[in-house]
């Protein structure tokens, strides 16, 4: 999947849709948007980086039974029915903290890009690994480098959600044919 253009993916099949009642409740709320496709996610990320309106939310879909069971099996945390979402202020935070190539190189990581952040749905729905964190979960997925998404879990009576809080990206793994001689030679 890493070779596909982000806009060509349809990861929504991995999530349950919002009900007409939910859509009706949010329809008149100027700060809540509903993602209809992958392009909506890309646009939301790019708009978040270009504006200072901290109160925007993008609701992507709900965690269905299949994905919920996979998460339960790994973490003993039941998120079935939770809204998957992202907020504009968190996107700016991610880019500010993990978007500088020089700073990230010192950490042994790649700078995060808007396209990486837009892959949030892919990281969650097709994770390679998931672990519990304090107040949420940590999902990882290898997409041209290991992308890690830290989420926050909200358990309110009316608003159960899993929100992106931060994201960072590891260095791409090299194939043996790309490795340097120093990397190929065994250490004494």
The 3-state DSSP composition of the chain as helix, strand, coil percent (nearest 5) reads: 35, 30, 35
- Contact 113/187 with Cβ under 8 angstroms? no
Is residue 135 in a domain? Answer: yes
Q: Domain total for the chain?
A: 1
* pLDDT for residue 173: 55
Is residue 145 in a domain? Answer: yes
* pLDDT for residue 164: 97
Is residue 147 in a domain? Answer: yes
With bands split at pLDDT 50, 70 and 90, how would you rate the model's confidence at 14? Answer: confident
Phi, psi of 113 (to 5 degrees): -120, 170
Is the confidence at residue 7, as pLDDT, over 60? no
Q: pLDDT for 37-77, tens place per residue? A: 888 999 999 999 988 776 899 999 999 999 999 999 999 99
What is the rounded CA–CA span in Å between residue 21 and residue 90?
Answer: 27
Q: Could you tell me the end-to-end alpha-carbon distance of the chain, in angstroms, rounded to an integer?
A: 39
With bands split at pLDDT 50, 70 and 90, how would you rate the model's confidence at 144? Answer: confident
Is residue 1 in a domain? Answer: no
Is residue 39 in a domain? Answer: yes
Is residue 155 in a domain? Answer: yes
List, in order, residues 6 or more apart from 79 with CB less than 8 Å away: 63, 68, 71, 72, 137, 153, 160, 162
175 vs 170 pLDDT, higher one: 170
User: The domain containing residue 134 runs over which residues?
Assistant: 6-184
Is residue 32 in a domain? Answer: yes
Q: pLDDT for 97-136, tens place per residue? A: 999 999 999 999 999 998 899 899 999 999 999 999 988 9
Is the confidence at residue 177, as pLDDT, over 50? no
Q: pLDDT for 85-100, tens place per residue? A: 999 999 999 999 999 9
Is residue 140 in a domain? Answer: yes
């Amino acid at each position: 999947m890493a070779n596909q253009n982000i806009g060509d993916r349809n990861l929504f099949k991995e999530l349950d849709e919002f009900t007409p009642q939910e859509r009706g409740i949010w329809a008149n709320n100027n700060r809540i948007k509903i993602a209809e496709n992958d392009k909506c996610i890309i646009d939301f990320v790019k708009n978040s980086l270009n504006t200072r309106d901290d109160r925007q939310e993008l609701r992507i879909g709900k965690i269905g039974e299949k994905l919920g069971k996979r998460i339960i099996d790994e973490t003993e945390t039941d998120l079935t029915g939770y809204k998957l979402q992202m907020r504009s202020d968190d996107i700016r935070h991610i880019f500010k903290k993990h978007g500088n190539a020089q700073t990230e190189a010192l950490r042994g990581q790649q700078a995060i890009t808007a396209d990486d952040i837009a892959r949030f749905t892919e990281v969650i729905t097709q994770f390679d690994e998931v672990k519990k964190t304090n107040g949420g979960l940590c999902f990882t997925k290898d997409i041209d480098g290991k992308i890690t998404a830290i989420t926050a879990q909200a358990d309110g009576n009316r608003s159960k959600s899993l929100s992106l809080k931060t994201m960072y990206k590891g260095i791409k793994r090299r194939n043996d044919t790309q490795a340097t001689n120093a990397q190929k030679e065994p250490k004494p």
